[in-house]
Structure 1
Amino acid sequence: MGLKAMLKRSAQLFDDQQYAITLMNGMGHIEKINKYFKAEKVIAGTAMIGTVLNDAGDVDFIGKKGTGTIHLVNETEKPDKFTKQVVSEFKKAQLGPKLTTNFLGTLLTKVIYNSVVNTLCSMYKLKEGEFISASVSTKLINRLINEAYHVCDLAGIEPLNSKEEEFNAIVHATRDVTPLHYPSMYQDISKQRPTEVDYINGYLYDLGKKYHYNAQAHDFLRDLVHLAEHAEIVTQ
């Protein structure tokens, strides 16, 4: 949420030889980064690794070592030597890096995942394993995935996973990989910080509107998350 201000504060430290590597949730961050870094110097990605940020530089990793994955993609969709070096270093760290050449599809794959797991778990203060054990979880996952993939189809974006693969990925991650994990959105709500829901569910809804499609479940969830933010403040 503070990316724009952070980039502005740090601008004097940047030069045209540096790369920006971003693994942020949601959408909207690339446009901010491009004000300081050319597309040729931007490596974006998504991380399927549960963590808890206790403090600056103090991170707890959730789940078994080596079970997480990171997808990396150049904004230009043309991997260069430096990008391959990053992948090599991430492999040494057992972060499970995978290099793709599908920029928007890579980012939207994680947005779709977060639009289901982050929002629903966070609103009801559920661990991921508690969410997937609910009898209604399958229905909720499918409804949100179907809306999101219809939006992507309209926009000409191809996520990395098919709808079936994305459903299975959500079930596997929440049930087998990080069942004890609270999503980052929950951590924001519990600390009375604004969430990134406008850049996740809100992004999908807004993108659908451009093509005259109403992704109403995502719009409804966006409002409910904002209500959860408000409730956390007023009930303390």
Structure 2
Amino acid sequence: MNIAIAGSGALGCGFGYMLQKNGQNVTLLDYWEDHIEAIRNNGLTVSVNGVKGTLPMTIARPEEVSGEKDVIFVFTKAMGLEKMMTQINHLIGTKTKIVCLLNGLGHLETLEAFVDRRNIIMGTTVWTAGIIAPGETQLNGNGPVELQNSHPEEEEAARVIVNILKDSGLFGEYSKNVKYTTWRKACINGTMNALCALLDASIEQLFASPSIDSLLGGIIDEFAAVAKVQDDIEIDRDEMIHYLKEVASRLGSHYPSMHQDLFNRRPTEIDFLNGAVVEAAEKYGIEAPHCRRMTDLIHAKEAVLGIETGR
């Protein structure tokens, strides 16, 4: 398949590398000049669960590429999705499938401004990734990548992409309820990710806190309340805390992406996580003080660090 990776940072490069290694025709799209130059000169180096490899890969700025793609994976930050869709619009044909694996909430509505719902495939993944240097990244975990078609008549198309991910070692799975996994992932990021960022802690350090259940519980309750009224999704507080602890035991010393954003002086995705819960809670007349405070504190930390957020 002719595949583009829109947003070729850590996770985008990891996916692009694995897909290319499996024989797909992959084009990486990005604007980071040092990264583009490094990959053009030396290939893309990715360490997958500690096993390092290098592949020659095509990388370009979106405007340098022409021709419609079969599939485009979007891996931008949540706040960059609308801009990226504008930049890649010329690569989208009537049958191009857009696969969205972004963190956060509300992305389907953004995508529908550019693409027919028939061509939108929503998903989640728990692969973790990091940038080592321009042209070199790491990919860790064992998935899965859960995908579901947004239009009921497009299941076959979604399953084709799931199988490509499986064959590429990315552990693709077809989901019959990707809204649930999206809310679950958002809740993970709105708790573990946001708290690690705020406290400047690794996952292991955060979960060593004697206050961890209390820290997690209030935020989870608010995600659960909004998920129920907005999408009829059930999130169980105790099960979620148990799951977060299980994830923490596996990821240990990892610093989540929001922590990496602050460390590297980049804007966070908090407005598409806890901030999105606050916005929806106001709409439905629900109180969300924990998510509001978390959103305010992360924005305060961005300001203290001198990070331009465009707010």
Partner of 2:223: 148
Match of 2:284 among 198, 211, 228: 211
What residue identity is the alignment partner of 1:127?
A: S
CA apart distance, 1:108: 1.3
Partner of 2:243: 169
**CA gap 1:166/1:227 in 2 versus in 1, 3 angstroms:** same
Contact map agreement 1:77 1:103 (CA 8 A) in 2: no
Q: Which runs of 5+ in 2 are unaligned?
A: 1-78
Q: Distance in 1 between matches of 2:99 and 2:134?
A: 18
Q: What is the aligned-residue RMSD (CA, Å)?
A: 2.0
**CA gap 1:77/1:149 in 2 versus in 1, 3 angstroms:** farther
1:60 aligns with 2:138: yes
CA apart distance, 1:32: 2.2
Equivalent positions of 1:90-169 (< 5 A) are 90-159=165-234, 162-169=236-243
**Does the residue aligned with 1:117 lie in a helix, a strand or coil?**
helix
For residues 65-120 of structure 1, what are the alpha-carbon distances to aligned partners after superposition, in whole Å with 9 as ceiling and x for unaligned? x3x32221222255522211211122233333332222432321111111101110
Match of 1:19 among 81, 93, 97: 97
Higher relative contact order (CA 8 A, sep 6+): 1
Contact map agreement 2:146 2:178 (CA 8 A) in 1: no
Larger radius of gyration: 2
Equivalent positions of 1:35-50 (< 5 A) are 35-50=113-128
Contact map agreement 1:132 1:174 (CA 8 A) in 2: yes
- Identity over the aligned pairs, expressed in percent? 24
What residue identity is the alignment partner of 1:167?
A: I
* Alignment: residue pair count: 229
**CA gap 1:215/1:53 in 2 versus in 1, 3 angstroms:** same
For residues 116-169 of structure 1, what are the alpha-carbon distances to aligned partners after superposition, in whole Å with 9 as ceiling and x for unaligned? 01110011111111111111111111221112112222224215x533332222
What residue identity is the alignment partner of 1:185?
A: M
Give the TM-score taking structure 1 as reference length.
Answer: 0.88
Contact map agreement 2:147 2:172 (CA 8 A) in 1: yes
Contact map agreement 2:148 2:155 (CA 8 A) in 1: no
1:33 aligns with 2:92: no
**CA gap 1:79/1:13 in 2 versus in 1, 3 angstroms:** closer
Contact map agreement 1:28 1:199 (CA 8 A) in 2: yes
Contact map agreement 2:129 2:139 (CA 8 A) in 1: yes
CA apart distance, 1:218: 0.3
**CA gap 1:185/1:39 in 2 versus in 1, 3 angstroms:** same
**CA gap 1:131/1:77 in 2 versus in 1, 3 angstroms:** farther
**Does the residue aligned with 2:306 lie in a helix, a strand or coil?**
helix
Q: Which runs of 5+ in 1 are unaligned?
A: none
Q: Distance in 1 between matches of 2:134 and 2:122?
A: 22
Match of 2:300 among 219, 227, 230: 227
**Does the residue aligned with 1:84 lie in a helix, a strand or coil?**
helix
Q: Distance in 1 between matches of 2:265 and 2:152?
A: 37
1:187 aligns with 2:260: yes
**CA gap 1:128/1:24 in 2 versus in 1, 3 angstroms:** same
